[in-house]
Amino acid sequence: MSECNVDDAASNEAWVPFKDRPEWRDLKPIPQDDGPDPVVQIAYSEQFREVYDYFRAIIAADEKSERALSLTKEAAELNPANYSVWNYRRNILQELNKDLKEELKYISQVIEDNPKNYQVWHHRRVIVEWLEDVTDELKFTEKILKEDAKNYHAWQHRQWCIQQFSLWDQELDYVDRLLKEDLRNNSAWNQRHFIIKNTTGYTDEIIKKELKYSQDFIRKAPNNESAWNYMKGVLQERKLFDFPGVLEFCHELYSKQIRSPFLIACMIDCYEEMLELGKPKKEETLQKATQLCNELAEEHDTLRREYWQYIARSLASKYGADVSGDS
């Protein structure tokens, strides 16, 4: 048995024990076997214990009936994270040829109450696969994301729907709307990268467009790490030096006395690339890079002082000899 709700939040005063329900008198419940000497026995409520005793019984009998379907609902309310309950419920739905649209309505309610539960989202995905209908899926995930913009399960389901059913067309507009509402929405930045990577790809033209897009947001909030990560992610398979506008952009902000650690770190990355490529004025470039490392260590990112001191030493060790040779 997987994790349980010991507090039994799903119980209510009107609940009737199975042993008192006439329609269940023919079935003998199967108690949970905790072994002869359980070390730390879980204090299940009486309702939880009885529901799952009868659930084990219907599995043992391989019963797929209306009452069994109803029982899985009670079991899921008590423990929505139980894989076996949802799996058996799906078996019953198929056996009885139930209305999957109704099941989708039901699981929508369950997810709204348990939005960060993997098993309920998995159940929804299977039902959508069986229906081959995603008419309401983007709208549903949007509703969940309004409550929690970083809900991983909702984003994962949304991405699956988009890929599985080719729903790419309007997604960038949705992401743009989310970022205008909250430019620090890291999940929305990730979604933007996911959409572009799987549609147009990062061509030179797209990269230039996305650099400008991210830089416009960075200007509004230079300390927003998400936008900086996106800008660098756009160039993941390229070199920062291939797009000199990146360093120019950084110089622009730095000249305005902006000292965001993400800005300075990006400048260091640019200078390191220049050193790797053996660009002219290597001594000057190394000096700039190590000076910025020291700024971060001593003023703007002191929590990571040792890291930046290490980077400064590494740069000096790797490129210092070459520099002195050129002097």
Question: What's the pLDDT at 238?
Answer: 85
Question: What's the pLDDT at 312?
Answer: 96
* 116 given a catalytic annotation: yes
Burial class (CB in 10 A: 0-12, 13-18, 19+), 186: middle
CB 117 within 8 A of CB 153: yes
CA 158, distance to chain mean position in Å, is 11
**Tokens standing for residue 7:** 């507090």
Question: What's the pLDDT at 1?
Answer: 40
What does the pLDDT profile of the chain (327 residues) look like in tens digits? 444 443 344 445 688 999 899 999 999 999 877 656 555 556 578 899 999 999 999 999 999 999 999 999 999 999 999 999 999 999 999 999 999 999 999 999 999 999 999 999 999 999 999 999 999 999 999 999 999 999 999 999 999 999 999 999 999 999 999 999 999 999 999 999 999 999 999 999 999 999 999 999 999 999 999 999 999 999 988 888 789 899 999 999 999 999 999 999 999 999 999 999 887 788 999 999 999 999 999 999 999 999 999 999 999 999 985 443 333
For the residues of 141-177, what is the DSSP string, one character each?
A: HHHHHHH-TT-HHHHHHHHHHHHHHT--TTHHHHHHH
Among residues 157, 133, 134, 135, the alpha carbon closest in space to that of 145 is found at: 157
d(CA 57, CA 59): 5
Question: What's the pLDDT at 34?
Answer: 63
d(CA 165, CA 125): 12
Give how far Cα 88 sits from Cα of 58, 64, 227, Å.
10, 9, 44
Among residues 229, 215, 143, 125, the alpha carbon closest in space to that of 185 is found at: 229
d(CA 226, CA 53): 49
CB 311 within 8 A of CB 293: yes
Residues 6+ apart with CB under 8 A from 249: 211, 215, 218
d(CA 4, CA 79): 5
Torsion region of 97: left, alpha or beta (phi above 0 gives left; psi -120 to 50 gives alpha) = left
| Residue showing tokens 């109450």 | 113
Question: What's the pLDDT at 286?
Answer: 95
Residues 6+ apart with CB under 8 A from 79: 1, 2, 3, 4, 5, 48, 85
Question: What's the pLDDT at 13?
Answer: 61
Question: What is the value of pTM for the model shown?
Answer: 0.87
The active-site residue, picked from 73, 101, 116, 281, is 116
CB 44 within 8 A of CB 5: no
CB 124 within 8 A of CB 100: no
